[in-house]
Each structure stands twice: as C-alpha cells, then as structure tokens.
Amino acid sequence: MNLSRIYRQAPASTLISLAIIIVFTITAIQSRSFTNNLGASDLGSSWMLYAPAMTNGTGALRAVGGMFLHIGPGHMLLNLVLLWLLGREIEKDFGSALFTVMYFVGGIGASAAVVWMDPLSPTAGASGAIYAMMAILVGLFMLRGADLRAPIILIVVNLGYTFLASDVSLWGHLGGLITGALLTWPMVKARSRRTQWIIALGGLVVVIVVLWAGLPLT
C-alpha cells in the first residue's frame, strides 16, 4: 500500500499522523535520543500537558500540543496504528474536516479531565483523542447495525491496560472516552451534516470552557 493510497483512504488521519511523526522527530533531535526523546527537548517542555505551567490561561495550548507529543517510539507507534485504523472508519462517515474537529474535541476533553482530576501529572500523547474515537466507532457501528463486539472488545482491552499499567494517564484515557461517548449520540442521530457541524463545534466550545475553568488563576 503506497502513501498516496493511504492518504486517499483517510486524509485527516494521515496528516495528523505525519504531524505526530514530525513532532517526535524534532523532540528526538533536540534530546539526542530516540528512546528518551522528551528528556532534554525544548519542544517537549513547552508542549507537555502540565496544569501548573498553564497559569492565567497562558500555555493553554499545551492541551493541544500535548496531543502530538509521545514518550518513546513504542508509545507513538501504538497510537499511530490506532489513529489510522479508527480514523479511516470514522472519516468514511463524517468526512475529513468534521472528523478533525471531533478528534480535537476528544483530545481537548481528555486534557480537561487531566487538568481537573490529575493536574500534577505531566501528560503527553494522542491516547485521549483515540479513546474518544473508540466511543464514536461504537456509535457508528450501532447506526450501521453492525456487530458491536469488535469495538467493545477494543475498548475493554484498552481500559484493562489503562487500569493495570502504572505509566499511563488514567484520566486522559477516561476523559477521552467519556467525551467521545457524550459526542457520539447526537452526532450519529443528527439528520443533516449542518446539524453535525453545529454539534461538533458546540462540543469544541464546551471542552475548551471546561479546560479553561480548571486552569490555575495565578
């Protein structure tokens, strides 16, 4: 499968994946390490999701930048595989532009959950947005009348790993999953693309407000 074919199947997912790879490469060059790529990276330090560094709203873009940072190649590759597989299915139904908005709703919703529930834990990765995509995929399968076992098993397995592993962001994953679940029902039930856009943009505003409300004032 060549790159042009991959891009045609899922343009937004492919471009987001490329952005993640570029960011990882920059952090690896700055840190002079492929495995400890955030160890001495200026980009990693300035984009890492960490609530105390987001005072007065400054640095609130960490909620987005952190979605592109990954801790080591294994972390990145796992998320890239899930992003492309899930994104390809979701883009088929919603289109690339709307998918992109939904992706960031899920990711920022996950960041908001971390800021509120685990603010002292530095967090990085696309996992929150990917968990939101898992929830959306369940909604799409329900709409299609498809077998729900595969997406539900995917969620259960990943949640099991989340609760058992000590080096993952529990609230980042749960926040993404909850955000995706809340977004899914109105999106799949909407009768027109215009209504879906209103719902998605409204969801983006809501997660930004929730995130902002959880940031330190000073």
Domains and CATH numbers, the chain: 3-213 (1.20.1540.10)
pLDDT at 58: 58
pLDDT at 164: 86
What is the full DSSP assignment across 28-81?
HHHHT-SSSTTTT-HHHHHHSB-GGG-GGGTTTTHHHHGGG--SSHHHHHHHHH
Return averaged pLDDT per consecutive 10 residues of the chain, 218 residues in all: 77 96 97 92 94 75 94 94 93 95 97 95 95 94 85 92 87 96 92 95 96 80
pTM above 0.85, yes or no: yes
Instruction: Report whether 66 contacts 109 (CB < 8 A).
Output: no
Q: Is 125 left (phi over 0), alpha (psi -120 to 50) or beta?
A: left
Q: What are phi and psi of 49, to 5 degrees?
A: -70, 115
Indicate if the alpha-carbon torsion angle 160, 52, 183, 65 is positive or negative: negative
